[in-house]
Amino acid sequence: MISAAGRLSRRSLLASSLALAACGRGASADPASPARSGPVPFLRDLAPFPIGTEIVTDEFGRPGFDAAASSQFSQITAGFEMKMEYILQQDGSLRFEGGDRVAAFCRANNQALHGHTLIWYIDRPAAFQKHVGDKRAFDRAYASYIQAVAGRYKGLARSWDVVNEPVADDGVSLRESFWTENLGQEGHFIRAHEEAHAADPDALLFVNEYHLESKPHKRRTFLKLVEDMLKRGVKIDGIGNQTHIDVDLPPGKITEAMRDLASLGLPIHLSEIDVSFQTEGVSLKSKAEKQASQLRLYREAMESFIALPEKQQFAFTIWGVRDADSWLRNASWVKDKTDTPLLFDDMGQPKETFWTLVDVLQGR
């Protein structure tokens, strides 16, 4: 941890560089990134709760990335390098280099670390295949992996997404996976939380899910799962609402979801926020209407989060620093590589989405 004086000095320099960049934009600049005079404020200083972002270590050193990631955010989610597909090798060995670099970045910049994710339905690791058919051996391997990873970051990770995306896409049933096939639908969930807690008793344990604002039936299924697990004594300290949304999401949907999720009384993590211009169907909105919708949705997300009781405001996390880093640009299935869903443009300069959050946090 660096000293408060050192942090202020470093961040003052970063503020100056960001301000100069914002004032020096040319005529070819992104119209969604208008210049505003004066120093660029730090979101982490404006908010009374953690403001987070997602990073991958390959992004270090890219234009504008390090300055924005280190100065603007008070919490970091490891976007890839704390997932099983990165850590667990085919021979059963564990790779921690990437996760360790993320943790070191957090320490250097006085940021909390949110671990993401211990168990995800998408994984079918080769190292587990030899245990299929032997439930006891499979269970031991499952417990060993979770304890090794959560234990590695004990005292470093403030929190973990333990089971990621447990509700099926139909929104009605729970998701089937390699883990449910071998440990049972409830068994794998309970076991994961038990082992994560045993490995790091102080870490807060979250269940994380998407489309909770756009699919009310999925939200109900998710809430029932969490409520049922709590009744069974499972340690769940909070819920993650990913908030991957697009510009066609109707007004009020985020607010409605937040109201329902808050009913459990648990801390809420708006955990993977981005607002995409890529819509599920053909959008009838003009470009200007889409830009206005994006700003409205960012405002609604922040306002609905601020409206939560203070004890339920866990963190407000943007899924990426610069537009160039967004999964909505880089996923293999994405056709439009020009999406601009985040707060900073490709060069790490603040956009109008950033200033919208500043306005809300400053009461405007």
CA angle, 287 as apex, 282 and 290 as ends, to 5°?
Answer: 75
Give the pLDDT band (50/70/90) at residue 364.
confident
Res 323 pLDDT > 80: yes
Give the pLDDT band (50/70/90) at residue 83.
very high
Res 328 pLDDT > 50: yes
Nearest to 208 by CA among 249, 248, 256, 175: 175
Give the pLDDT band (50/70/90) at residue 34.
low
Nearest to 249 by CA among 273, 225, 226: 273
Res 10 pLDDT > 50: no
Structure tokens at 135: 């439930």
Structure tokens at 258: 């937040």
> Is residue 264 domain-resident?
yes
Nearest to 85 by CA among 122, 60, 53, 58: 122
Alpha helix ranges (H) inside 24-134: 43-46, 65-72, 84-87, 97-108, 126-129
CA distance 120 to 98: 18
Alpha helix ranges (H) inside 24-55: 43-46
Please name the residue that has the structure tokens 């992104």: 30
> Is residue 148 domain-resident?
yes
CA distance 209 to 213: 10
Query: Looking at residues 312-332, what average pLDDT do you find?
Result: 96
> Within 10 Å of residue 239's Cβ, how many Cβ atoms?
23
The number of domains in the chain is 1
- Helices 287-306 and 253-262 sit at what angle, rounded to 10 degrees? 20
pLDDT of residue 74: 99
> Is residue 251 domain-resident?
yes
Res 80 pLDDT > 50: yes
Nearest to 270 by CA among 51, 98, 83: 51
Q: Which range marks the domain in which residue 340 is found?
A: 47-361
In tens, the pLDDT along 270-314 reads 999 999 999 887 788 899 999 999 999 999 999 999 999 999 999
Which residues on adjacent β-strands are paired with residue 318?
53, 273
Query: 25: which residues sit within 8 A by CB, 6+ positions away?
Result: 33, 35, 349
pLDDT of residue 21: 42
> Is residue 71 domain-resident?
yes
> Is residue 6 domain-resident?
no
Nearest to 245 by CA among 182, 312, 308, 301: 301
CB 267 within 8 A of CB 238: yes
Res 9 pLDDT > 50: no
In tens, the pLDDT along 230-246 reads 999 999 999 999 999 99
pLDDT of residue 11: 43
In tens, the pLDDT along 98-119 reads 999 999 999 999 999 999 999 9
Comparing 204 with 24, the larger pLDDT belongs to 204
> Is the pTM higher than 0.75?
yes
Comparing 322 with 15, the larger pLDDT belongs to 322
In tens, the pLDDT along 55-70 reads 999 999 999 999 999 9
Q: ω before 117 within 30° of 0 (cis)?
A: yes
pLDDT of residue 33: 52
**DSSP strand pairing (112-120 vs 157-164):** parallel
Res 96 pLDDT > 90: yes
pLDDT of residue 190: 98
Give the SS3 label for residue 266. Answer: coil
Q: What percent of the chain has pLDDT over 90?
A: 85
> Is residue 32 domain-resident?
no
**DSSP strand pairing (204-209 vs 238-241):** parallel
In tens, the pLDDT along 169-209 reads 999 999 999 999 999 999 999 999 999 999 999 999 999 99
| CATH code for position 353 | 3.20.20.80
In tens, the pLDDT along 122-145 reads 999 999 999 999 999 999 999 999
